Structure 1
Amino acid sequence: MRIQDIIEGKKEWRAHMARVKALPKDYQIVYKEIQKYLYKVGPVELTNGIGLLSGIIDLFEEGASLGKNVLEVTGEDVAAFCDDLIKDSKTYADIYQESVNQKGNEAMKED
């Protein structure tokens, strides 16, 4: 990765976080919890940019402009909202499970 790519990535992230800080406080809190959840669950695509997170901000900005409470946008179960967003995405948990299954199958073949 080039230095210029790192600098551009930082600029993009700062602009992204400025959008988060412009949201109402309840939206900011839920956004940060979503961000933590997604980083823990680990959709692989999340590391390739901030597209999914930007989409969430777009949704939140629209909800806030309509005067909606953040839970009207996400629903009461924020984790289920996140799971629905990444349901078709490969996660690090999926990769780990595949690795464990492969090692188990290899061990069974050795017997």
Structure 2
Amino acid sequence: MKIRDIIEGKKEWRAHAARVKALPQDYQIVYKEIQKYFFKVGPVELTDGTGLLSGIVDLFEEGAALGKGVLDVTGTDVAFFCDELIRDSKTYADSYQESVNQEVNKAVKKVTNKKKQKGG
């Protein structure tokens, strides 16, 4: 990654953070919980930029402009709202599951090959 890309990324993130800070307090609270949720379980693509998070801010800005409460926008089950947003995205959990399965398959294959070599 070039230094220019890093600087540009920081500028984008600061602009994004300023948009979040401009939201009503209840929206900010829910946004921060969504952000934490995504960083813990969420999509691998989230590290590629702020696209998904910016989309949420767009949605929240629209809801706030219409005078809606944040839970009118997301529903009361915010985790479900998050899961629906990333339903078709690869998550860290998916990556970890693949890694575990690959390691298990390698280990089983190794044991099986040793048994075959011993004639058993």
Q: TM-score range by the shorter chain?
A: over 0.9
For residues 107 and 4 of structure 2, the distance between their equivalents in structure 1, rounded to whole angstroms, comes to 46
Trace 1:38-49 onto structure 2 (pairs within 5 A). Answer: 38-49=38-49
The structure number with the bigger radius of gyration is 2
TM-fit CA distance, 1:18: 0.6
Trace 1:4-83 onto structure 2 (pairs within 5 A). Answer: 4-83=4-83
Amino acid of the structure 2 residue aligned with 1:15? A
TM-fit CA distance, 1:110: 2.2
**Alignment deviations for residues 1-35 of structure 1 (CA, whole Å, 9 cap, x no partner):** 11111111111001001100110000000000000
User: TM-score if structure 1 supplies the norm length?
Assistant: 0.96
TM-fit CA distance, 1:42: 3.1
For residues 9 and 110 of structure 2, the distance between their equivalents in structure 1, rounded to whole angstroms, comes to 47
Gaps of 5+ in 2: 112-120
For residues 47 and 72 of structure 2, the distance between their equivalents in structure 1, rounded to whole angstroms, comes to 28
Of all paired residues, the percent bearing the same amino acid is 79
User: TM-score if structure 2 supplies the norm length?
Assistant: 0.89
Amino acid of the structure 2 residue aligned with 1:20? V
Question: Which consecutive segments of 4 or more residues in structure 1 shift more than 2 A?
Answer: none
Gaps of 5+ in 1: none
**Alignment deviations for residues 57-104 of structure 1 (CA, whole Å, 9 cap, x no partner):** 000001001100000000000000000000100011111101111111
Amino acid of the structure 1 residue aligned with 2:78? V
